[in-house]
């Protein structure tokens, strides 16, 4: 096992005030029901951004909490790595908007687009920045306001997503704490199974894109499900190999929260019982890049992670991207 270089020194989270239950979809004319959503996904409710709530405001709130937890001031942040697919503006990066909001005037700020695996990619980038001496203190945020880029008429997707942000401060490792292994993969040949067909530079923007739904997230759910199960299993195996650990050495698994059935399949493959797996998909839905850091912050707050815990993070998302990080706390 390698000596850790970078550790998670503080975390925070922020979600919109409004909680939307499954029953509310039928009330807005979507042909769905609470029973279907619960049974197929495990989701009971999600947070939905309201007026004045943006990716920047949620991310900045989460970042302030994480900075306080880590005992770091905005001026000490050297880099901000923002993982998102739902920035407030397409130009410039979401990270610079957060930089301005929190007053991290010295930081280099940029986005990482790896969809639901974004925070895992972000942590791995941050570890590299610290390893090379480019940065000492890195703010990694995973956050989304997906409810603003989903098709509210498409029951295949609109019941799945939620909004929220999780922030983490990474610093040089002390006392053997920190990232023990990470593993990143992508397969761009599968991009069209989960994507936004229009709205980017490939086509001139037209009004049709809004009416035909191609401006919004589109997903072939069943295919994505199969790949998610396979890829999460791969990510579990590869991270354990890289860290030279076995499943018994892991105190808690924090998987991407997309669907309870994917989470259960991942736990089964890893040979880890569900009581060692963190689940909050029931209360947040799929918050993409926000899902793992939000769960991490909850797990630190409610004592599921304590000093010395070894935690495995596993993610999968559009791209496709997938990966894992094992860290000691
Ligand atoms: O964040 C990472 C990427 N995303 C994921 O990991 C999501 C992966 N996929 C999934 O989680 C699941 O595939 C879904 C939850 C999206 C769908 O569950 P499923 O068990 O794979 O359902 P399905 O797509 O096979 O659809 C089964 C039926 C269909 O009806 P027919 O063709 O059998 O008559 C759908 O039209 O369920 C229908 N359906 C719904 N019914 C009620 C689809 N969405 C809904 C809905 N309410 N919201």
Check whether residue 22 and residue 143 sit in a common domain. Answer: yes
Residues 172 and 184 in one domain: no
What is the rounded CA–CA span in Å between residue 268 and residue 247? 11
Give the confidence band of 283 by pLDDT, cuts at 50, 70, 90. very high
Dist. CA 36 → ligand 1 center (Å): 9
By mean pLDDT, which of 1-5, 97-101, 153-157, 175-179 is the weakest? 1-5
Are residue 211 and residue 313 in the same domain, yes or no? yes
Q: Examine the fold and report which residue of 140, 157, 176 is the final residue of a domain before the chain moves on.
A: 176
Asked whether residue 311 falls in the same domain as residue 192, the answer is yes
Q: Which among 195, 276, 262 has a CA at the least distance from the CA of 225? A: 262
Q: Percentage of the chain surpassing pLDDT 90?
A: 98
Specify the length of the chain in residues: 329
On whether both 107 and 247 belong to a single domain, the answer is no
Residues 155 and 15 in one domain: yes
Q: Which residues share a beta bridge with 315?
A: 323
Residues 309 and 186 in one domain: yes
Backbone angles phi, psi at 240, to 5 degrees: -60, -45
Asked if residue 1 is part of any domain, the answer here is no
Longest dimension (CA), the chain: 57
Residue 120 confidence (pLDDT)? 98
- Tell me which residue of 56, 61, 110 sits closest to 86, measured CA to CA: 56
Q: Examine the pLDDT at 135 and tell me if it is beyond 70.
A: yes
Residue with the two structure tokens 């590299």: 128
Q: Is the pTM of this model over 0.75?
A: yes
Inside any domain, residue 299: yes
Q: How far is the centre of ligand 1, averaged over its atoms, from the C-alpha of 200 (Å)? A: 26
Answer yes or no: is the C-beta of 156 below 6 A from any ligand 1 atom.
Answer: yes
Q: What element of type H or E holds 157?
A: helix 155-158
190 and 113 together in one domain: no
Is 259's C-beta closer than 6 angstroms to any atom of ligand 1? yes
Residue ending a domain, among 176, 191, 219, is 176
Please report the pLDDT score of residue 31 as a whole number: 97
Contact 271, 248 (CB under 8 A): no
CB 55 within 8 A of CB 111: no
One domain for residues 144 and 24: yes
The pLDDT tens digits for 20-35 are 999 999 999 999 999 9
pLDDT tops 70 at residue 47: yes
Range of the domain at 218: 180-328
In the structure encoding, which two tokens stand for residue 259, read together?
Answer: 């669907």
Quickly state the pLDDT bin for 2 (edges 50, 70, 90). confident
Task: Find out whether the beta carbon of 116 lies less than 6 Å from any atom of ligand 1.
Answer: yes
Q: pLDDT per residue over 48-82, tens digit each?
A: 999 999 999 999 999 999 999 999 999 999 999 99
Tell whether ligand 1 has an atom less than 6 A from the beta carbon of residue 257.
no
- Is 283 a domain residue? yes
C-alpha of residue 147 to centroid of ligand 1, in Å: 18
End of a domain among 124, 142, 176? 176
Which of 39, 41, 49 is closest to 19 using CA atoms?
A: 49
Assigned domain for 123 exists? yes
Residue nearest to atom 14 of ligand 1 (CA): 221
Q: Are 78 and 107 in contact (CB under 8 A)?
A: yes
Q: Are residues 114 and 58 in the same domain?
A: yes
Spatial strand order of the sheet with 163-172 comes to: 6-14, 163-172, 137-145, 79-83, 108-112
Nearest-CA residue for atom 27 of ligand 1: 222
303 pLDDT above the threshold of 70: yes
Same domain, 60 and 184: no
CATH assignment at residue 251: 3.40.47.10
Task: Please measure the distance between the N-terminal and C-terminal CA atoms of the chain and give it in whole angstroms.
Answer: 15
State the helix-helix crossing angle for 260-270 and 34-41, rounded to 10 degrees.
20
* Closest C-alpha residue for ligand 1 atom 25: 222
Output the CA 155–ligand 1 centroid distance in Å. 8
Q: Are residues 203 and 131 in the same domain?
A: no
User: From the CB of 41, is ligand 1 less than 6 Å away?
Assistant: yes
Tens of pLDDT along 234-259? 999 999 999 999 999 999 999 999 99
Q: Is 212 contained in some domain?
A: yes
DSSP annotation of 196: -
Domain count of the chain?
2
**Spatial distance between the Cα atoms of 146 and 139, rounded to a whole number of angstroms:** 22
Query: Over the stretch 190-212, which tens digit does the pLDDT of each residue have?
Result: 999 999 999 999 988 899 998 99
Q: Which of 55, 42, 44, 107 lies closest to 78 in space, CA to CA?
A: 107
Cβ–ligand 1 contact at 220 (below 6 Å): no
Domain assignment present for residue 112? The answer is: yes
Question: What residues are labeled active site?
Answer: 116, 256, 286
Classify residue 319: in a domain, yes or no: yes
Task: Let me know if residue 92 belongs to a domain.
Answer: yes
């Amino acid at each position: 096992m390698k000596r850790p270089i970078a550790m998670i020194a503080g975390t925070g989270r922020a979600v919109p005030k409004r909680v939307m239950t499954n029953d509310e979809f039928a009330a807005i004319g979507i042909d769905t029901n609470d029973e279907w959503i619960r049974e197929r996904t495990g989701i009971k409710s999600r947070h939905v951004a309201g007026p004045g709530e943006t990716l920047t405001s949620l991310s900045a709130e989460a970042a302030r909490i994480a900075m306080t937890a880590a005992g770091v001031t905005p001026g000490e942040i050297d880099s901000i790595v923002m993982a998102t697919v739902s920035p407030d503006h397409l130009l410039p990066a979401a990270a610079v908007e957060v930089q301005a909001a929190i007053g991290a005037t010295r930081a280099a700020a940029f986005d990482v687009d790896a969809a639901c695996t974004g925070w895992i990619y972000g942590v791995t980038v941050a570890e590299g920045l610290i390893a090379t001496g480019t940065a000492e203190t890195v703010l990694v945020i995973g956050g989304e306001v997906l409810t603003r880029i989903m098709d509210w008429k498409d029951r295949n997707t609109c019941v799945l997503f939620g909004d929220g942000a999780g922030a983490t401060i990474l610093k040089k490792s002390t006392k053997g704490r920190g990232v023990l292994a990470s593993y990143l993969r992508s397969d761009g040949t599968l991009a069209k199974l989960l994507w936004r067909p229009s709205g980017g530079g490939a086509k001139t923007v037209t009004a049709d894109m809004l009416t035909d739904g191609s401006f919004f997230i589109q997903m072939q759910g069943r295919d994505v499900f199969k790949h998610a199960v396979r890829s999460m299993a791969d990510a579990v195996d590869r991270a354990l190999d890289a860290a030279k650990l076995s499943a018994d050495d892991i105190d808690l698994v924090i998987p991407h929260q997309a669907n309870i059935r994917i989470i259960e399949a991942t736990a089964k493959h890893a040979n880890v019982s569900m009581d060692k797996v963190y689940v909050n998909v029931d209360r947040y839905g799929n918050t993409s890049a926000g899902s793992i850091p939000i769960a991490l912050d909850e797990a630190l707050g409610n004592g599921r992670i304590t000093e010395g815990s070894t935690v495995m993070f596993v993610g999968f998302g559009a791209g496709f991207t997938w990966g894992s990080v094992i860290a000691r706390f």
